[in-house]
Amino acid sequence: MSDPQKSKWGVLSATLFAGFTVVLNNSLMNVALPYFMGFYALTAVAGQWIITAFALGMALIMPVSTYLAKRFGSKTIFLTGTIIFLFSSLAGSFSWDFASMIAFRLVQGIGGGLIMPIAMIMIFQKFPKGERGFAMGIWGVAVMIAPTIGPTIGGLLLEFFSWHMLFLMNIPTALISLLLAIKFLQEDAQKERRQFDWLGFLFVTGGILGTLIGIDALQTNAGVYVYLLIFSGIVLLGLFVVHELRTSEPLLDISILKNTVFSASLLILINSVTAMFSVLLLIPMLIQEVYGQSALYAGLLLFPQALAMGISMTIGGRLLDRKGPYPVIMIGVITITVVTFILAFSINTTSVALLITLLVIHGIANGFINTPVTTAGLNALPAEHVSAGSVFNNVARQMMKVISVVLLSILYESRRNSHLVTTSDELQSGLVAIQEVYIIVAICLAISIPIVFYLRKDWQ
């Protein structure tokens, strides 16, 4: 194998370990929330900051990552992000109170926010266009499988070890990624000396903070100030867009959204993320409330779907390289829409075996959408805009994780409470609420079908 070949697979290995560690670390904490709420005597609102702090750290640093990569080099920023993540994970295991844990989680998020978009940029730089689908499929296994297996691993760690392991288990894979990155990543040939767009940074930082914190607060408080916070965040994000289009040295090149293929890929990606988190949120409710099983059992039940998704991502990436994006993504979108409708109308009568089968098909379909649509969207951009596209992709993914979980939770609770008014049967009310939420998710997924069909000529 030639040196360039070794280099590109070395880069993929480094980014794969890093991406898996970052995403798994976040999903581990989902199952640990009740534990920390009891350990620190927290309310649900306060406990949620274990998740929110990490998401905020990632979302806030991502828009700056393109500037930092061009200014200091992709390798330097990737190594910096990995080191920050590594040491904040170690520090997190020594948290002496809840406030210190939140601080370390925020720093972890900053490290992860430097890693994720830079990883995608380096994969696109190292792999030619005809191999990117396969490479992104392999990398996507790490990114998309981790949220599914995270609750299972988190449950096992809390069952047999202590909460400290939720932080310490990041260290081995982060170290492997760091060593691989030092060996295989190359310094950028040219580094740009650009003026930092401070006004744009303030707009986007305030916008992300206001929007995500406001949406997160909707779960427990729907007061006027919460809506004002969300509104302020959206306004600041709008000002960021206007400013970036007018300034000569933008923090992030907004003009790439004029690319129809890329913008459409973001819409399809958002629906795909919503579909995945509808499973991660609603199926554990079904397993625990309807079947009366434990959270660990629910996590184990989701594992076949995670495995199916991982396999289909690799297959979907290879098919994308050979056949183009259109047939792969269309098959995935149609399949996941149909399966979600089936889940909606049969979830109150389905057996565990049939549920696992439907979830496996759901995972295969999502694997045919998520990574292929990301690759197709970035492939549609000129090489100089791939870095900005990677940031948009990761910010959209990160924000949608928070938004979808919050909105789906609120929708479920509102529909459940509405049905409880007419019947005192809590079990039946919960089942009907899950059905109705899945119908709404399926309708959103169905919207992706005409979008994919519209892009068929561009994706030939």
pLDDT digit string, tens, across residues 333-371: 999 999 999 988 887 777 778 888 998 999 899 888 887
pLDDT tens digits for 217-254?
776 666 778 888 888 989 998 898 888 888 877 777 78
Structure confidence at residue 334 (pLDDT): 93
In this structure, how many other beta carbons lie within 10 angstroms of the beta carbon of residue 164? Answer: 13
58-76 average pLDDT score: 84
Give the pLDDT score at 338. Answer: 93
Say yes or no: 232 and 314 in one domain.
no
Residues 308 and 230 in one domain: no
* pLDDT (0 to 100) of residue 31: 65
- Helix or strand or coil: residue 218? coil
**pLDDT single digits (tens) 253-267:** 788 888 888 888 888
The pLDDT of residue 5 is: 60
Q: Please check whether residues 71 and 177 belong to one and the same domain.
A: yes
pLDDT at res. 108: 93
pLDDT band (50, 70, 90) for residue 389: confident
Q: Are residues 232 and 114 in the same domain?
A: no
Q: Has residue 189 got a pLDDT over 90?
A: no
* 211/301 same-domain check: no
- Residue entry with tokens 């100089």: 384
pLDDT level of residue 107 (50, 70, 90 thresholds): very high
**pLDDT value, residue 407:** 79
Residue 153 has pLDDT above 60, yes or no: yes
Please compute the mean of the pLDDT values over residues 76-84 and round it to a whole number.
92
For the entire predicted model, the pTM comes to 0.77
- DSSP category for residue 455: T
Residue 16 has pLDDT above 50, yes or no: yes
**346 sits in which H/E element:** helix 325-346
Number of structural domains (the chain) is 3
Structure tokens at 190: 């040219």
Q: Are residues 270 and 396 in the same domain?
A: yes
Structure token digits, residue 444: 């959103």
Q: Is 126 helix (H, G, I), strand (E, B) or coil?
A: helix
**CATH code of the domain in which 132 resides:** 1.20.1250.20
- Given pLDDT bands bounded at 50, 70 and 90, which one contains residue 430? confident
Q: Is the pLDDT of residue 53 over 80?
A: yes
The pLDDT value given to residue 111: 93
Mean pLDDT score of the chain: 81
pLDDT beyond 80 at 60: yes
Mean pLDDT of 24-41: 74
99 and 77 belong to one structural domain: yes
Instruction: Return d(Cα 115, Cα 81) in angstroms, integer.
Output: 5
- CA 309/CA 145 separation, integer angstroms: 7
| Percent of the chain that is helix, strand, coil (3-state, to 5) | 85, 0, 15
* 288 and 210 within one domain: no
Q: Which of 190, 214, 241 lies at the terminal end of a domain, its last residue?
A: 190
Cα 99 to Cα 76: distance, rounded to the nearest angstrom: 30
Is residue 50 pLDDT above 60, yes or no?
A: yes
Measure CA of the first residue to CA of the last residue in the chain; give whole Å: 32
Does residue 365 sit in the same domain as residue 378? yes
Q: Which of 140, 168, 190 is the last residue of a domain?
A: 190
pLDDT of residue 424: 67
Same domain (yes/no): 48, 186: yes
| Per-residue pLDDT tens over the stretch 271-292 | 888 888 788 777 777 776 666 6
Q: Which helix (H) or strand (E) holds 210?
A: helix 198-217
Please list, in sequence order, all residues whose beta carbon lies within 8 angstroms of the beta carbon of residue 73, skipping any fewer than 6 positions away.
Answer: 187, 188, 191
- Bigger pLDDT: 148 vs 349: 349
Same domain, 282 and 241: no
Phi, psi of 319 (to 5 degrees): -65, -35
Asked if pLDDT for residue 1 goes beyond 50, the answer is: no
Average pLDDT over residues 135-158: 74
In this model, does residue 87 exceed pLDDT 70? Answer: yes
| pLDDT value at 28 more than 60 | yes
Alpha-carbon span 67 to 252, nearest angstrom: 8
Residues 95 and 206 in one domain: no
Name which of 371, 409, 436 is nearest 137 in CA terms.
Answer: 371
Averaged pLDDT for residues 312-317: 80
Name the least confident of 17-26, 34-43, 111-120: 34-43
Q: Which region among 9-13, 117-121, 293-297, 321-325 has the lowest average model confidence (pLDDT)?
A: 293-297
Most confident of 111-125, 189-203, 296-310: 111-125
Residue 347, domain extent: 254-460
Burial class from Cβ neighbours inside 10 Å (0-12, 13-18, 19+) for residue 242 reads exposed
Percent above pLDDT 70 for the chain: 90
Backbone angles phi, psi at 259, to 5 degrees: -75, 110
